[in-house]
């Protein structure tokens, strides 16, 4: 077994533990493998070990991998920052986008989605911790943005995503995830039909699952430490 295959097996077991420990069914939580900075061979290893959903954060890097891996029926998710000059490439190449945080980007993605493809499955990124990540809509602007995105024909609004500021204490990891779930509940009470909470990474996915995550985005626990140039 490759290292990636055994890491995947351990991550899957930990997801099942976290879900059942929280009184949830394990199949309510989907594993998204974050392959940014890792070569196409790493993605192939993970695919051979049964992983079909992968996420990337840098458009240029992702396009190379998507084209090199065209022989595999991978579902590609975009989770990185979105510049307006990259929306067309994103709209043409990804099934999901988790990092939409402003209306002009959403409108461009919708308009540029090729007609022969289904709508892009979208999560709105929320700046839940205030500091930490600078990306994301603030919680008080979320409802207006969500209602506007829900009307765009090229997008299907599925839910919310957040990257909380890292904290070392496990108990403190729960709070931002609970806050995101509360915002999600409020939007559904306002009539939206959201089913996705994209939250939890290698260091905090157990807390995210306990608070209702339906997609966890995990990179280093599967592929190893990233080295940035
Ligand atoms: C890199 C990244 C991840 C994965 O982080 P790990 O700590 O390696 O699991 C998840 N979500 C986003 C948005 C990322 O950029």
> Which residue of 33, 34, 127 sits with most ligand 1 atoms within 8 Å of its CB, as the best mutation to test the pocket?
34
Q: How far is the CA of 208 from the centre of ligand 1 (A)?
A: 13
Q: What is the Å distance from ligand 1's center to 116 Cα?
A: 30
State the chain's mean pLDDT as an integer. 96
The CATH code that applies to domain 3-162+179-223 is 3.20.20.10
Q: Tell which atom from ligand 1 comes closest to the C-alpha of 57.
A: 15
pTM over 0.95, yes/no = yes
Q: What is the pLDDT of residue 148?
A: 98
pLDDT at position 168 is: 80
For ligand 1, residues with CB inside 6 Å are 34, 36, 57, 79, 163, 201-203, 217-221
Atom of ligand 1 nearest to the CA of 223: 8
Domain layout of the chain by residue ranges: 3-162+179-223
What integer pLDDT is reported at residue 129 of this predicted model? 82
One-letter-per-residue 3-state SS of the chain: CCHHHHHHHHHHHHHHHHHHHCCCCHHHCEEEEECCCCCHHHHHHHHHCCCCEEEECCHHHHHHHHHHCCCCCCEEEECCCCCHHHHHHHHHHCCEEEEECCHHHHHHHHHHCCCCCCCEEEEEEECCCCCCCCCCECHHHHHHHHHHHCCCCCEEEEEEECCCCCCCCHHHHHHHHHHHHHHHHHHHHCCCCCCEEECCCCCCHHHHHHCCCCEEEECHHHHCCCCCC
For the segment 112-125, what is each residue's pLDDT rounded down to a tens digit?
Answer: 999 999 999 999 99
pLDDT tens digits, 24-79: 999 999 999 999 999 999 999 999 999 999 999 999 999 999 999 999 999 999 99
Across residues 143-171, what is the average pLDDT? Answer: 95
């Amino acid at each position: 077994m490759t290292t990636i295959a055994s890491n995947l097996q351990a991550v899957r077991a930990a997801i099942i533990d976290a879900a059942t420990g929280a009184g949830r069914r394990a199949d309510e939580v989907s594993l998204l493998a974050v392959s940014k900075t890792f070569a196409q061979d790493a993605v192939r290893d993970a695919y051979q070990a049964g992983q079909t959903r992968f996420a990337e954060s840098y458009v240029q890097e992702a396009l190379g991998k998507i084209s090199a891996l065209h022989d595999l029926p991978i579902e590609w998710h975009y989770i990185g920052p979105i510049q307006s000059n990259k929306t067309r490439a994103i709209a043409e190449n990804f099934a999901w986008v988790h990092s939409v945080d402003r209306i002009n980007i959403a409108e461009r993605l919708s308009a540029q989605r090729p007609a022969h493809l289904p709508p892009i499955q979208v999560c709105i990124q929320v700046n839940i911790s205030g500091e930490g990540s600078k990306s994301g809509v603030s919680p008080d602007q979320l409802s207006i943005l969500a209602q506007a995105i829900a009307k765009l024909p090229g997008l299907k609004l599925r839910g919310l995503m957040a990257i909380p500021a890292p904290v070392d204490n496990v108990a403190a990891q729960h709070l931002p995830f609970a806050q995101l779930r509360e915002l999600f509940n409020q939007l559904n009470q306002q009539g939206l039909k959201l089913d996705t909470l994209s939250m939890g990474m290698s260091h905090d996915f157990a807390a995210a699952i306990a608070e209702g995550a339906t997609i966890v985005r995990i990179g280093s626990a599967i592929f190893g430490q990233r080295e940035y140039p």
